[in-house]
Amino acid sequence: MNEVFDMHTRLSAALHDRAEAWRFVADFAAYWQQPLRPGDGWSVAEVEAAERRLGLVLPAALREAYLLLGRRTDLISNHDTLLGPDELHVVDGALVYRVENQGAATWGVLLEDLDHDDPGTVMRSDLADKSQERWEAWESSLTVACIDMVMSEAVLFGAGFTDFLEGDAEEAGLVGRFRELPTVGRDVRWFADADVLIRELDGFCLNVRARTGKALDQLRNSVPGDWLEG
């Protein structure tokens, strides 16, 4: 994709329409990583085998995610991991589909919501006192959760033009300089221009992905601080 990818407009549409969400994911991958290709997803047979094993039917949105990009590790498992169909499992009334990289949290869909095409998601923290663990409401839909996953994993990709800086967007002077994107993800703010994508997490750190080394160097030079890779 050579033309500029209008993140703000496309993301605004993707957060409210499932078909637009998958178009956004495909174009996002092409612009910031590599285009999606045949073989980047699991096969229908592999997804159906998981359904038979579990004795349930996956929501349409989860099935679509697996078929589109379920094997693209650069988009689904640089930090946290989208489980493969053969790894899906049920915990206390929810189908677990994603896990935090150190096991601190899991994400799922309540079994009672599996009959919805694009159900909301839930999150469960791993606690020392297991009796206190509960599923808590998370994203409004699986497609929104997948958009957040793809964007987050892209800025956390170990290879390519990525970096990390402690601090928030105001402190770094990003507000007003980069366009803030529509809200996607919990405790996260997103900023972007044509060549740089920035995630502010919990108001204390910035994860950055650039399309070129020059764009990344320009950002580092304009934002003082102890850049991890700089």
Domain map (residue ranges) of the chain: 7-149, 160-222
Contact call for residues 72 and 111 (beta carbons, < 8 A): no
pLDDT in tens, 154-184: 999 877 899 999 999 999 999 989 999 999 9
How far is residue 169's CA from residue 190's CA, in Å, rounded to a whole number? 9
Whole-angstrom distance, CA of residue 80 vs CA of residue 137: 18
User: Which tokens in the block code for residue 29?
Assistant: 């991958």
pLDDT digits (tens, 9 = 90+) for 190-213: 999 999 999 999 999 999 999 999
SS3 readout for 163-205: EEEECCHHHHCCECCEEECCCCCCCEEEEECCCEEEEEECCCE
* Amino acid 1: pLDDT: 61
- Domain 160-222, what fold? TATA-Binding Protein (3.30.310)
pLDDT at 157: 81
The second-level CATH assignment, the architecture, of 7-149 is 3-Layer(aba) Sandwich (3.40)
Mean pLDDT, rounded, of the chain: 95
- pLDDT higher than threshold 90 for residue 130: no
Whole-model pTM? 0.94
Q: What is the residue whose two structure tokens read 């606690």?
A: 127
Which residues, including other chains, have CB under 8 Å from residue 127's CB and lie 6 or more apart?
Answer: 133
| Pairing status of strand 122-125 against strand 179-180 | unpaired
Whether residue 60 has pLDDT greater than 80: yes
